[in-house]
Chain A
């Protein structure tokens, strides 16, 4: 049920969407729109702390790895 709710939410967002023209993407290209405000290293530190202290992982993409932590 919860999963369904999220799918409905996503469809709502997409349903409300309009085509964004290339000249309208200035805000989308701002660093504050990027993950961790564009600071990839600090994001990696945080993800690794969580990975080290919690039992869950995944969702951050497949590029990367190399953790000597399992």
Chain B
């Protein structure tokens, strides 16, 4: 909840037929931000098992250990808690700095695929996650229909429903002392609908195109973050941020994959996103794979992301007064980001392979992060 760093279980690109095989995969993520901000260690496991040719079960589990600090405004004079909120605080006592925290989280998911006589697929999924201040459960349903007898084109329609319970710091209660640790339980839901088409262009390339709609409803505020209101130059109020209780988001994604040579494969994708918080974003992603011999595969990737700010965002401590919605969360600001990606995969035997991935994330907000992933996969 606090850092929005936990787990999203199995995601599948629409209508991209996957190789049927049994395997167990283990990965460990080590994620570190600059300025001693967030640090995450997250081991995970995934098991994929076919039952004949008609059924496949995919299950995954992850445990996160998150520690570090995230930035927000607070009343430094209170001393008791860096999250402290108060009215009529001396402006000189208002600080914007990293607030330390630590939390643990576990999450798991399962996806069951059933294939019919015409090889259409029905996918049913369930996921759950639990942490100190956030519990979540979701279910999904997806149907893939082949559009031609040679199975080169497919259409996929899917939907999911997610229910969240948030143990929120007492943001909304008047006079509530947030530094005392008081909290209240809030809820939110998310509905996600996606329609996609996949098409094999030729024996070396395919294209995916999809449109999606996401409706969030309920408590969407981050109860750990503060804003400054009514700054008259002498005193100001340090209060919890507040976001709208609904959010409707729309988007489209186009992906193109081409085996340029026998050993080189290029992945390109573009996503456009917009929502009724006035956030617009463009994401361009590219990955280049090169197979060296039969055992080594190298990947280099580059991703660019840019977004506009939410209409209730401002980073200043001298901007908000009595606006209904207000946030100084840098993630809602106008920024861009680059990701530089690399991975090497080594096939030790026909059944067993290992990988090591090193990546660098650079946001114009000042956030920079390195993350490494390593693990193995065993086909059985």
Contacts and interface: CB of A to CB of B under 8 A. Distances in A.
B152 A48 contact: no
B230 interface: no
A58 to B, nearest CB: 5
Contacts of A57: 214, 249, 273
24 contacts: A6-B252, A6-B270, A20-B150, A27-B259, A32-B297, A35-B267, A37-B297, A39-B27, A39-B345, A41-B27, A42-B355, A49-B31, A52-B5, A52-B6, A55-B332, A56-B305, A58-B212, A61-B142, A63-B10, A63-B125, A64-B8, A65-B125, A66-B8, A66-B162
A66 B9 contact: yes
A67 B204 CA distance: 35
Contacts of A26: 203
A30 B361 contact: no
Given A41-B60, A55-B279, A61-B194, A67 B201 contact: no
Contacts of A48: 5-8
A45 B249 contact: no
A14 B199 CA distance: 8
A32 to B, nearest CB: 4
B9 A53 contact: no
B326 interface: no
B25 interface: yes
Interface residues of A, number: 61
Given A17-B199, A32-B297, A57-B249, 13 more contacts: A22-B151, A33-B265, A41-B27, A43-B11, A47-B11, A52-B3, A52-B6, A53-B4, A54-B307, A56-B307, A59-B271, A61-B196, A64-B127
Given A19-B152, A67-B6, A35 B16 contact: yes
A49 B8 CA distance: 10
Given A33-B259, A65-B127, A68-B136, A25 B203 contact: yes
B257 A33 contact: yes
Given A6-B254, A45-B27, A68-B164, A55 B8 contact: no
Contacts of A3: 252, 272
A41 B127 contact: no
A50 B8 CA distance: 11
Interface in B48-92: 60
B130 A68 contact: yes
Contacts of A63: 10-12, 111, 123, 125, 140, 142, 158, 160
Interface stretch (B170-178, B185-193, B315-323): B185-193
Nearest to B219: A70
Given A20-B203, A59-B253, A70 B164 contact: yes
Interface in B183-242: 188, 190, 192-194, 196, 199-207, 209-210, 212, 214, 216, 220
Nearest to B331: A55
B202 A62 contact: no
B367 A16 contact: no
Nearest to A50: B305
B105 A68 contact: yes
Contacts of A31: 19, 297
A18 B202 contact: yes
A61 B111 CA distance: 13
B129 A66 contact: yes
A55 B13 contact: no
Contact of B367 (A42, A46, A47, A53): A53
Given A10-B254, A55-B332, A65 B160 contact: yes
A69 interface: yes
